[in-house]
Amino acid sequence: MSKSLKRVIAALEAAGCDSLPAEVGHATTAQMAADLVGCTVDQIAKSIMFRGEASGAALLFATAGGNQVDAAKASALAGEPLGKADAALIRAQTGFAIGGVSPIGHLTTPRAFFDPRLLEFDQVWAAAGTPRHVFAMDPDALLRISGAVTADFTA
């Protein structure tokens, strides 16, 4: 079991969540992930990472699978211009590789924002630290344990 997957499991257990990650196969899009787990695309909680141009820190935007992050809205929320977070920054701050970034279980918790669209569902699915593992949970619980702030940042 990977260190990344172990950190997500530990974060779920520490939060008192009974959800366990499942290996579902490699998905490169939110729609592929939704097809693998049998949910709608918006029930996939995508972890989109940006780099703060002023701070240099990685920021997390957890968004519904069918939504896109609006760069101007995201920058306004962050209070600084945002750029592309490269694989090295993402790995260094979160401990996850691109394609498996979970909204929980980071090495260093990033500032995080949460798409309110996710709160419209009874259950959402998120990456569990690898490109092949996901976990399902109540979106209110995911919001709470991720430490994110609900905000409008989608196009």
Report yes or no on whether pTM surpasses 0.85.
yes
Q: How confident is the model at residue 19 (pLDDT cuts 50, 70, 90)?
A: confident
Could you tell me if 128 and 102 are in contact, meaning their C-beta atoms sit under 8 angstroms apart? Answer: yes
- Give the C-alpha separation, 51 to 55, whole Å: 8
Mean pLDDT value of segment 25-29: 85
Domains within the chain, CATH numbers bracketed? 3-11+21-150 (3.90.960.10)
Share of the chain above pLDDT 90, in %: 92
Element of type H or E holding 22: strand 22-23
DSSP per residue, 90-114: HHHHHS--TT---SS--SSPPEEEE
Residue 25 has pLDDT above 90, yes or no: no
Tens digits of residue pLDDT in 31-80: 999 999 999 999 999 999 999 999 999 999 999 999 999 999 999 999 99
Residue 28 has pLDDT above 90, yes or no: no
Predicted pLDDT at 102:
97
Which whole-number Å values give the CA distances from 61 to 3, 36, 57, 136, in the listed order?
23, 23, 13, 18
> Minimal CA–CA distance to 142: which of 89, 76, 64, 84?
64
Could you tell me if 51 and 60 are in contact, meaning their C-beta atoms sit under 8 angstroms apart? Answer: no
Predicted pLDDT at 42:
98
Predicted pLDDT at 43:
98
Question: Phi then psi for 146, rounded to 5 degrees?
Answer: -80, -20
